[in-house]
Amino acid sequence: MKKTLSLLGAAAAFMLAFSSCGQEKAIVGGDDEEQVAAEYSVSVLKGPTAMGMAKLIEESRNNESFNSYDVTIHGTADEISAGVISGSTDIACIPANLAAIMYKKTEGAVNVCAVNTLGVLYVVTAGEDISTVEDLRGRTIYSTGKGTTPEYVLNYILRQNGLEPQKDVIIEYKSEASECAALMAESENAAAVLPQPYVAAAMAKNDKLSISLSLTEEWARVCDTPMITGVTIAQKSVIEKNPEAFSIFMEEYAASVDYVNANTDEAAAIIGSLDIVSEAVAKKALPYCNITLLKNEEMKTAVNGYWNVLFEADPASVGGAVPDEGVFYTENEE
């Protein structure tokens, strides 16, 4: 069922829709224009990208958002890719390097709309102290994300520190972070690269685990562009069909991110109710998840910088070439 928003009722309706996030939103459009809500299919990864959208998911399910969002939470990026390529997924939150690959595979049919997560990767160990990247020499590390952000970030950091992946450091890739956490629980001398909130989840189950290295900090030591874990993409056809509704999505999304970052306890309860991760784990992990929403020029600068670093390290990481400027969706800024 379509919803419309006329100018006369705009202010009241928007205040109602966004009251739970403590923000007022302005109507978009001309004096006589009606805003027609959209129904979007959204795919997110189980982790920080889903956590940042948690408030919006809750509002949509309670019919409190302007647009309607059918959100599916996935365990791996591969599960999302098929829907993006087929066009059945309207909006997706995926690893930053995968967005470049999707742009190529869809022949430019998707836009990058925002950076949703900065660095969330940590080296977690049990039984031994690791204080530098050099200390990883000769170790076996469990990790997720082969072909996505964790693999390329870890490889880049290792090489910048004089270590060759799979020679000086053996990396065993698993399909999900929960597998790595389970292996950590079984070993007294294991190491893993885990993203939040799986770091918090693993540490809650095994008091021998500790964070040894922040890959965000290690990246910053060897690179002058920020690490980007996740971005939000959308089908160009979806944006063009109802640009006003998509602009409102970006506002609703930003309000959700602001709410999650400002209200840890309340956000953790919502995240737990959505079965993204447990409330207790979310409460511990949120301060370390670097959830954000970078848009427009700030997004373009950060993403281009990150993609160029990945391309120089391994062209395949971004699909063989850094995408052209047509990959980005930007709003009209006054």
pLDDT per residue as tens digits for the range 203-215: 888 888 889 999 9
326: tokens are: 């047509």
Answer yes or no: is 259 within a domain.
yes
> Which pLDDT score is estimated for 185?
72
188 & 287 share domain: no
> Which pLDDT score is estimated for 328?
98
171 & 312 share domain: no
CA-CA distance, 146 to 99, in Å (whole number)? 15
- pLDDT band per the 50, 70, 90 thresholds, residue 14: very low
Answer yes or no: is 291 within a domain.
yes
pLDDT per residue as tens digits for the range 91-131: 999 999 999 999 999 999 999 999 999 998 999 988 667 88
Give the domain range for residue 50: 4-118+229-327
114 & 248 share domain: yes
pLDDT higher than threshold 80 for residue 293: yes
pLDDT higher than threshold 70 for residue 158: yes
CA-CA distance, 45 to 120, in Å (whole number)? 13
> Which pLDDT score is estimated for 333?
52
pLDDT higher than threshold 50 for residue 60: yes
Answer yes or no: is 81 within a domain.
yes
Amino acid type, 162: G
Answer yes or no: is 176 within a domain.
yes
CA-CA distance, 277 to 268, in Å (whole number)? 9
SS (H, E, C) 305-327: HHHHHHHHHCHHHHCCCCCCHHH
Tell me the pTM.
0.81
Answer yes or no: is 184 within a domain.
yes
Answer yes or no: is 252 within a domain.
yes
173 & 155 share domain: yes
* ∠ Cα 283 40 272 (to 5°): 15
